[in-house]
Amino acid sequence: MELLLYDAFNGLIVGMFYALMALGLSMILTLNSVVNMAHGGFLILGAYLAFTLEPYLGFWGALVAGPVIAMVFGLIVERVLIRPIYKREDPVYSLLLTFGLALIMQDVARTIWGPAGLPFAIPDALNSPLSSSFFFLTGYRAVVVAIAFFAVVGLMLVMRYTRIGIRIRAGIRDLETVSGLGVNIYVLRAVNFGAGCLLAGLAGVLAAGQLGLTPTMGDSLIMPSFVAIIVGGVGSFLGSVLGGLLIGVAAGVMTTYYPAASDAVIYGIMALVLIVRPRGLMGQEGMFE
Amino acid sequence: MNSRYVRLGVLWLLLLTVPWWLPLVGGYTQLGTRVLVYALAAMGLNLLLGFTGGLSFGHAAYYGLGAYGVGLTLKYLAPSTPLALVVGTLVGGVAATLLGPTLMRRRGVYFAMITLAFGQLFYFIVVRWNNVTGGEDGLTGFVRQPLHFGHHVLPLHDVAFYYLVLFCFALATAIMGILLRSPLGHTWVAIRENRRRAQFLGIPVERYVWASFAISGFVTALAGGLNAMLNNFTSPLDLYWVLSGDFVIIAVLGGMRSFWGPLVGAIIYLYAQDYLSSLTDNWQSFIGLIFILVVLLFPRGMLGMLRMKARSA
């Protein structure tokens, strides 16, 4: 029982990373119509820069700086590389472009920081368990859950109540009409892309403290995040978040019973959802159908 | 019309004489075989991507299933090259066919994402099922077997194997060429050009895209099987999504609106990969740069550009 709880909680933590990734991916997918294969690249960018800056800024400073730099880089990439190809209708181009970018970012990270794993130091105060009976519930994990929770809730509030958030949601529904109403959709898409990269960077720093840093960590987190979007339902941000948590916990629980299938179970859930409810758990009607 | 036959004749003449001229320009027969295998995989993908307008980013899965089908058949079932190829092609192709209906409901970027995610399913199955597949280390312990024609035995050394691959390549391209000239092929192109209009004309679009997806899966699986025989080895990397990206860039680089585009793309891409990896440790960055440059500067690919030039001249 204790083991199950331990694995499930581990899964929940990893699911938080999936959820943050999936949320950003989903925003970029729906508004920018880009499958951002470089999302894992932005994740490692945020994580490694936080690692490098930590000695100067401290843990909390790095936790802010890493994602912000990922966002700034994302804004540059969007402006320079992605904006010129929005008008091409075939999705193959944006996919190949971000795929190439992902290859470069991973290779650069490997060249600068080396292929071996690096430890991302977290404050001692966060390293000890909160309670002696639940040894796995460290302060850091509680912080991860809290930060991820506030990031998601904050984003939901922005999407719901601010002008830019409402415009983004409207743009997802019908970008042409939003543009016709006088909204600068170039700015809208740039903001959206930057926000997605910010989330990727945040996931990267948080994951680095939990799992350590490797150049391939983006790779291993991006695929389950795609699955999270499919399971949660494209077009629903809450769906992506819940999808991420669900597959994270499912993979964690599977570790207890049948470790060999812990990766495959994610895809099993995806197949099941697609058969029973093709648009995903909370997916909206008419998106990409 | 005549010039097309001349060009086709030259193409096949060049392909048939690869073992003679490739060493003269600094290559080796196996490299030629590898180009054909990748070209075949990308042409299979291109049936869907370039002629039906469906972007699959998970074709490495069917390629890899073909490879494992071949390897496992040779290792456990029967030491027969033709049988192994048939089994490999069937394993990959049937997997694509069965998955088809689940994927068909979506389009555009979402279709790409969903094919990508499903591709990874097979990757994890192969990695985790290590007592059969050899896990992360890959599948070894099988070799391609000589071909038997009655009493005559043909050992498959490098050159003979090249011709076996060329034979499969010719067979598959002939089938695809015929299909594309048939009403089925024209319907695919109609769907690519305007999916909604095709739907309004009463064409069951999803079923047609499914057919394209399935056939393209069979062809790509055949290529994967041939690759396993070429190396007498296959590994989970043959199903990894990065390889799917390779196939897509090969098709786009050569020209995805052209039937022979992927062949041109495969020649350029494999040469670049070979050359760059001998030159620098950071070859992955340069490959990524090729991706970006092709997208920004040569979206029509090599053959597409040539065609544009020919038309404007």
What is the tens place of the pLDDT at every residue in A14-29? 999 999 999 999 999 9
Q: Judge: domain A2-276, CATH 1.10.10.
A: no
Contact A230 B113 (CB under 8 A): yes
Between B128, B252, B295, which is nearest A263 by CB?
Answer: B128
Q: How far is A114 from chain B (nearest CA, A)?
A: 12
- Separation CA B208–CA B185 (nearest Å): 9
Contact A288 B110 (CB under 8 A): yes
- Separation CA A53–CA A50 (nearest Å): 5
Q: How large is the ipTM?
A: 0.88
Contact A100 B106 (CB under 8 A): no
Closest CA to A94 of A105, A83, A103: A83
Tell which wins on pLDDT, B28 or A53: A53
What local confidence, expressed as pLDDT, does residue A289 receive? 61
- Separation CA A217–CA A212 (nearest Å): 9
Contacts of A260 in chain B (CB under 8 A): 128-129
Percent of chain B past pLDDT 90, that is, above it, reads 61
Q: Which residue has the tokens 């995903």?
A: A280
Mean pLDDT value of segment B191-201: 92
Question: Which residue in chain B is spatially nearest to A227 when comparing CA positions?
Answer: B117
Mean pLDDT value of segment A108-113: 94
Contact A97 B113 (CB under 8 A): no
What local confidence, expressed as pLDDT, does residue B183 receive? 96
A44 touches chain B (CB under 8 A): no
Bridge partners of A118?
A213
A112 touches chain B (CB under 8 A): no
Between B117, B292, B295, which is nearest A227 by CB?
Answer: B117
Tell me the pLDDT of chain B averaged across its residues: 91
A229 touches chain B (CB under 8 A): yes
What local confidence, expressed as pLDDT, does residue A287 receive? 65
Tens of pLDDT, residue by residue over A184-230, are: 999 999 999 999 999 999 999 999 988 889 999 998 899 899 999 99
Tens of pLDDT, residue by residue over A148-174, are: 999 999 999 999 999 999 999 999 988
Query: Is residue B32 within 8 Å of residue B19, measured between CB atoms?
Result: yes
Is the model's pLDDT at B58 over the cut of 80? yes
Q: How confident is the model at residue B304 (pLDDT cuts 50, 70, 90)?
A: confident
Contacts of A33 in chain B (CB under 8 A): 108-109
B57 touches chain A (CB under 8 A): yes
Contact A99 B245 (CB under 8 A): yes
Contacts of B133 in chain A (CB under 8 A): none
A102 touches chain B (CB under 8 A): yes
B107 touches chain A (CB under 8 A): yes
B299 touches chain A (CB under 8 A): yes
Between B117, B245, B299, which is nearest A230 by CB?
Answer: B117
Is the model's pLDDT at B44 over the cut of 90? yes
- Separation CA A27–CA A69 (nearest Å): 19
What local confidence, expressed as pLDDT, does residue A286 receive? 63
Considering only residues 13 to 32 of chain A, which have any Cβ-Cβ distance to chain B shorter than 8 Å? 29
Burial of A193 (0-12, 13-18, 19+ CB in 10 A): buried
Query: Is residue A66 within 8 Å of residue A205, measured between CB atoms?
Result: yes
Is the model's pLDDT at A288 over the cut of 70? no
Query: Is residue B233 within 8 Å of residue B72, measured between CB atoms?
Result: no
Tens of pLDDT, residue by residue over A55-104, are: 999 999 999 999 999 999 999 999 999 999 998 888 889 999 999 999 99
Is the model's pLDDT at B282 over the cut of 80? yes
Between B113, B128, B291, which is nearest A35 by CB?
Answer: B113
B282 touches chain A (CB under 8 A): yes
- Separation CA A104–CA A102 (nearest Å): 5
Give the residue from B125, B131, B291, B300 with the most A CB atoms within 10 Å of its CB, the best one to mutate: B291
Sign of the Cα pseudo-torsion (A155, A158, A161, A163, in order) = negative
Q: Enumerate the domain spans of chain A.
A: 2-276
- Separation CA B26–CA B23 (nearest Å): 5
Contact A97 B118 (CB under 8 A): no
Cα atoms in the 13 Å half-sphere on the side-chain side of A164: 10
**Close Cβ partners of B156 (under 8 Å, ≥ 6 residues apart):** B81, B144, B145, B146, B147, B164, B229
Which two three-digit tokens encode residue A28? 């970029």
Give the residue from A39, A76, A81, A104 with the most B CB atoms within 10 Å of its CB, the best one to mutate: A104
Tens of pLDDT, residue by residue over A112-146, are: 999 988 888 888 777 777 766 666 678 888 889 99
Tens of pLDDT, residue by residue over B141-153, are: 888 888 888 788 8
What local confidence, expressed as pLDDT, does residue B106 receive? 75
Tell which wins on pLDDT, B229 or B154: B229
Cα atoms in the 13 Å half-sphere on the side-chain side of B63: 33
Mean pLDDT value of segment A226-251: 91
